[in-house]
Amino acid sequence: MRKKLLSLGLAATMVLSLAACGSKAEAPAPEVEESEVEEVASEEEESEVEEEVEEAVEEDAAQTTVYIDIAASLEAVFVDKIIPAYEEANPNVKIEYNTGSSGKLLQGIEEANGIGHDLFFSAGKKQVTTLDETDGLVKADSIVNLLSNQLCLVKGNDVETAVTSWDNLSDAKTAAICGGSVPVGKYTRIAMVSLGLLEETDAPEEYTSQQISEALGGVEVDEADDVEVAASKAVEGSVEIATIYYSDFFNHQNDLTIIAQDDGTLTGPIVYPVCLVENSEADEAEIAAAADFLEFLQNDFCLAAYEEYCFIVNQ
């Protein structure tokens, strides 16, 4: 009996020894609070969400484009100065411009019912008034009569002409004059009414090129699509004289001579209004960028640029 009890004691001792060895070989892992795990995961998820939002915002901003329609006489100052300065200050906004005579620009906006057009800078008040009062496509309170211009009679430097002033226009053989739907063409007709060459009317823009030719005693009138085309015809010498805006002389001052310049006595004020267009398909980013661009057009940098390019600032 004694021997049996001794054997059982030795067996128990061996079991306890083995158990102790096992506990040393497999030390328990340090305990981690569940809240700490959740906090780390939450921070990682939040960081990922922020990155995704930032990427989405950058992607959307990069796609923001403002579509503007500007009179042909504004093209040089916009391309050389205004658009590059704005895009540099606002790298996520792209300015896409369309240029031409204000009458044709108006027609394009009307045909599209404003879609794809955010801002209109016209060389005459009539076009913006039509867009506003007739078409209802001007954003409320957005019209700014920003600039003025003056009508000039010019010739190419190498062209000989007997014309010396507004008073002897009929001494020319050929003349480049824009159609009546083009503001500079309308103001040319108004000047001719003031000079007594055309009869006074409520719609001087309706005088045709043929009627002008007859009023000038047979001068051949080359009807130009816009003021830049008229200036180019004078530069190349395909016509003897042309009527353009003073601002267009800036673009060709090395190639053109001003024969006469009207201070408004013949034409009255020549106003350039700018406005925002109701574009029903523009998203919030595009609408905001267009409004911001309109404000930019009125800052000191732009006002100085207009004056440099021979425009008269009304502010």
Each residue's pLDDT tens digit in the chain (315 positions)? Answer: 444 433 434 344 433 343 443 444 444 555 555 555 455 456 666 666 566 545 554 554 458 999 999 998 899 999 999 999 999 999 999 999 999 989 999 999 999 999 999 999 999 899 999 999 999 999 999 999 999 999 999 999 999 999 999 999 999 999 999 999 998 999 999 999 999 999 999 999 999 999 999 999 999 999 999 889 999 999 999 999 999 999 889 889 999 999 999 999 999 999 999 999 999 999 999 999 999 999 999 999 999 999 999 999 996
C-alpha to C-alpha distances, 79 to 53, 61, 70, 97, 287, nearest whole angstrom: 34, 22, 11, 9, 22
pTM tops 0.95, yes or no: no
d(CA 240, CA 236): 10
Phi, then psi, of 109 in degrees rounded to 5: -65, -40
Provide the pLDDT for residue 61. Answer: 46
Look up residue 270 and give its two tokens. 């020549």
Residue-range domains of the chain with CATH: 65-148+271-313 (3.40.190.10), 151-261 (3.40.190.10)
3-state secondary structure the chain: CHHHHHHHHHHHHHHHHHHHHHHHHCCCCCCCCHHHHHHHHHHHHHHHHHHHHHHHHHHHHHCEEEEEEEEHHHHHHHHHHHHHHHHHHCCCEEEEEEEECHHHHHHHHHHCCCCCCCEEECCCHHHHHHHHHHCCCECCCCCEEEEEECEEEEEECCCCCCCCCHHHHHHCCEEEEECCCCHHHHHHHHHHHHCCCCCCCCCHHHCCHHHHHHHCCCCEEEEECCHHHHHHHHHHCCCCEEEEEHHHHHHCCCCEEEEEECCCCCCCCEEEEEEEECCCCCCHHHHHHHHHHHHHCCCHHHHHHHHHCCCEECC
d(CA 207, CA 212): 7
Torsion angle, alpha carbons of 137, 138, 139, 140, to 10: -120
Provide the pLDDT for residue 187. Answer: 96
